Amino acid sequence: MIQFEFGNRFQNCNGLSRRTFLSAGSSAIAGINLPFLLANDSLGREMGLNANLKGKRAKSLILIHLDGGPPQMDLIDPKPNAPSEVRSPFSPMSTNVPGIQLTELMPQCAKIADRLVFIRSLIGSDGKHHAFQCQSGYHEKDLQAIGGRPAIGCVVKHLQSTPQDTVPPFIDLMQGRPLVRNSARPGFLGIKSKPFRPDISHLWHRELEPGMKGELQRLGAGHKTELRLNSNLPSERVNQRLGLLQSLDRFDRSLDPSGSMIAMDQFHQQAFRVLTSGEFSKAMDLDREDPKVIASYTPPANFNGTQSVTSEGPDAILKFMLARRLIEAGVRVVSLSLSDFDTHSNNNERMRNLGPLFDFGFHALIQDLDSRGLLETTTVLAWGEFGRTPKVNDKGGRDHWPNASMAIMAGGGLPEGLVIGATDREAGRVTERPVSFADVAATLYRQLNIDPQMMIHDQTGRPHMLMSEGSPIAELT
């Protein structure tokens, strides 16, 4: 039996009655936490959908962060002719697309290469050990004085969420560095656009490095946003608290010509709908999944190689399945992570374990989405914060390498069976078709039918172009 924790542990969601349970956050439904986080500035909301964007577009997005920075030459950019002192030990493998090769660590993706896009020429990494650039397309310091740039999911929440939503529009499942360093942050949009971060640590363990443990502790409980289910609070009392808050708000509303208090009423209603609809709880309950589907996300018992202490095990692949369940329930953006690609030592043995694990999970996700008719409307992207050095260090590892990185994309009506860009014979320098992180982010916005050049306002009302850098990748539009 799988348990899921919304603050307090409870049995799985089978039999969860919308008339029996539910309170939200540490202050329950009538408190400020969840409704405030669900709130959008209805008075200054930008129009996020752009009718001028032609063609069929995705409505959902799954972002997979390969935590630590994956070695491009060991996965999707094989260089068999590299000098012996830098050459990957993993042989090239042909795919079902003539002329496209991956390494032998990626046999499952090789079978569906005709459904995928491989970007071998990512440039412009910030060189920072978190997922912020992979969530936003920007360097961490861009507009830092006003909070920094918002993550893509936070923008989607700001633009497209409504009080009628029965599931949160953006759910962040990232663990490890991305969680500790608050990678999916709302930036200048403010706390109202924060992602919802359910606590999944009891389901999937990701051992933190000692420094990150202290870092997470210093951030405090407010670093995570959770719904809390309380079996001792009937929904009648929830309704009473909501009604009491609304009656108290009437006095403030009479003093508030802007109408923001009326909008806050709507946000509390949205929080109530999320909790009482049951859609979110059902999606998070993996016990509801068909055992045959669970088996398709369960890799072979033993991979070769070595699992490091900060790397996740084979059960982490079920996070990919959870992402699909959330998308199917109506969530617009889901981010998750797979750790730990920070292979400063023992790179080859660690990649013998991690490479096939990622390969298996990505393949399972794409096949599952496709079988349900969701792949056409869901864009999937896997990438990390940077690549790895061509040169192997004296510990047998590969160090950080911002000069060249990799990404894999699929779904959302994108062209398929493509390789974009190329690197030199060591996979260390981009030689053809450089693609920036901002280009990829602009492409994702376009996929979501959001004009990357639209103006979006910060909390003071000042306008900013959503993507003042980068352009949608021409080969994918």
DSSP letters of 377-406?
GEEEEEE-S-EE-SS--TTB---EETT-EE
> For 68-114, how does the pLDDT look when each residue is reduced to its tens digit (9 = 90+)?
999 999 999 999 999 988 999 999 999 999 999 999 999 999 999 99
pLDDT range class, residue 252, cuts 50, 70, 90: low
Q: Is 4 left (phi over 0), alpha (psi -120 to 50) or beta?
A: beta
Rounded-to-integer distance, Cα 33 and Cα 450, Å: 28
pLDDT of residue 165: 85
Dihedral over Cα of 138, 65, 279, 30: its sign: negative
pLDDT range class, residue 44, cuts 50, 70, 90: very low
Contact (CB, 8 A) for 4 and 288 = no
Residue 419 has pLDDT above 80, yes or no: yes
> For 215-250, how does the pLDDT look when each residue is reduced to its tens digit (9 = 90+)?
988 888 767 766 554 555 555 655 565 565 555 555
pLDDT of residue 29: 38
Q: What is the mean pLDDT of residues 414-443?
A: 98
> For 105-131, how does the pLDDT look when each residue is reduced to its tens digit (9 = 90+)?
999 999 999 999 999 999 999 999 999
pLDDT of residue 217: 86
> For 254-310, how does the pLDDT look when each residue is reduced to its tens digit (9 = 90+)?
555 544 444 445 555 666 667 667 788 889 999 999 999 999 999 987 778 999 999
Rounded mean pLDDT of the chain?
A: 84
Give the list of residues 6+ apart from residue 67 with CB closer than 8 angstroms, or none. Answer: 131, 174, 175, 176, 177, 178, 337, 338, 339, 340, 341, 342, 384
> For 15-31, how does the pLDDT look when each residue is reduced to its tens digit (9 = 90+)?
333 333 333 333 333 33
Query: Which two tokens mark 253?
Result: 């509303």
Q: What is the mean pLDDT of residues 155-177?
A: 91
pLDDT of residue 302: 72
The share of the chain scoring above pLDDT 70, in percent, equals: 77
pLDDT of residue 162: 80
Contact (CB, 8 A) for 257 and 38 = no
Query: Three-state DSSP class for 412?
Result: coil
